[in-house]
Structure 1
Amino acid sequence: MVTSAPASVRPVFVLGCPRSGTTLLQLLPHAHPRIALPPDNRFVLLGTPLRAYAERHGKVRWGDKRPAYALHVSGILRLFPDAQLVCRVRDGRRCVASLLWMPGGTAAWHELRFEDLVADAELRLRELCGYLDAEYAPEMTEPHRMAGAAVTARKTGHRRTHGTLGASRAGSRQLRLTPDQTWLCEAVLGRRLERHGYELSGALRPDPPNRSTTARCPPSDAPLTPSDGPPTAWHRVREPGPVAAGW
């Protein structure tokens, strides 16, 4: 028989599409005096080391951040029935642009749009704390103070986590997409973008000579495989650490 843990110590899992801002969202709860979310690690869904990390930081609630958890929500809830999931939602076109420019639900579910967070951090963080049954802590609006310890130096693509929150962060990447890239993103992600409140640009379909690469794109719900691109592109969207979750 599964016994529910008190709400104040329920584990927290942050998930979402790669490059959607999950690392920033890891820092925000980690800045709370009662919640600890570690940097990237190989302890996939292993509660004991994650609890130890929280205890080392003098905190009572533990959790983890991993974009790939979005593919295993049912497994997380089987292992941790009292878990709370925080899903990062971001304009898919900006996620694609961020990947291209990289160097080299239910009662257990809370969605948080990147653009809403950076536009009014305190409001959105108060909503997040309400969902997590945690008292709002003002230091959560200053995640850059935790970045030095919680974001590993090798993650050069996350340098902006060391800066302050601000609305200017929301749209900086989208401008780096070409019109053809924008059309492709909207052709694949259009319905999902609109469902989450993102306006489509109306980018024109590219001329045939520019569509040679788009013909090989998988359907929007098809998983990416190593054969869909060079190894560097494949590994960019996979989380480090080959350890199986084991459910």
Structure 2
Amino acid sequence: MKEQLFVIGDIHGEYEMLQELLSYWDKETQQLVFIGDLGDRGNASSSCFKRVHQLVKDEDAICITGNHEQILLNFLNKPDEYAANYFLNGGLKTIESFLSETDLSKLQPEQMAKQIQEKAPWLKSFLTNLPNYYEWYAYLFVHAGVNLTKESWLNTSSYDFIWIREPFHNGRNRTGKTIIFGHTPTNLLHGDMKNFQIWEDDNKIGIDGGAVFGGILHGLVFDKNGMIHHYGVQKKNDKEVITKTYQ
């Protein structure tokens, strides 16, 4: 087990921001963890999926499944049934990025799903096998949260791990864990549409900084005693990203 852990918030296709944040990761001493929602909405979603898949395969990174991984998997499995829902949630950006040389107006959803799997034969297996959570010392990493009304958080449903919001945000954390999660942009948690900083309350840390909405892609470093570094990547303009060190 490595001495430290580096966790990255919801990426949503912001590949340049991801690459910038990864430059602060020390692979020799830090376990890399992604909190889910790698693609959709952002223009470079396919590059984000490819990069994280490579890091999981070659560098033993951990990637927790998010709701956007699930809706992509739904689309790949049953494209005609789930196309409308996937498109509504930013999935066209992912499809366009995987099929960038294809005229999508000439394709039906079934053809889109088939061509994506031909171009990325690893993708469906990768999505299918992502875990719902990751435990490390006194920390619990999940995409959306856990059901705090259960006697044990381990009894949280697969749906709640990737979709839960207010019942987790507002519930009392008796798990004995510090829970790091994404899914809900932190400006909503702060009640301030301009505040994309991490959100902390009751041993819960929200790290979805709304990167794809003009916010921050957060990277937090922990050791067994607490957070020791905090990096945040933002877009300065369409051609440049900048990193701030908060801790």
Structure-1-length-normalised TM-score: 0.29
Structure-2-length-normalised TM-score: 0.29
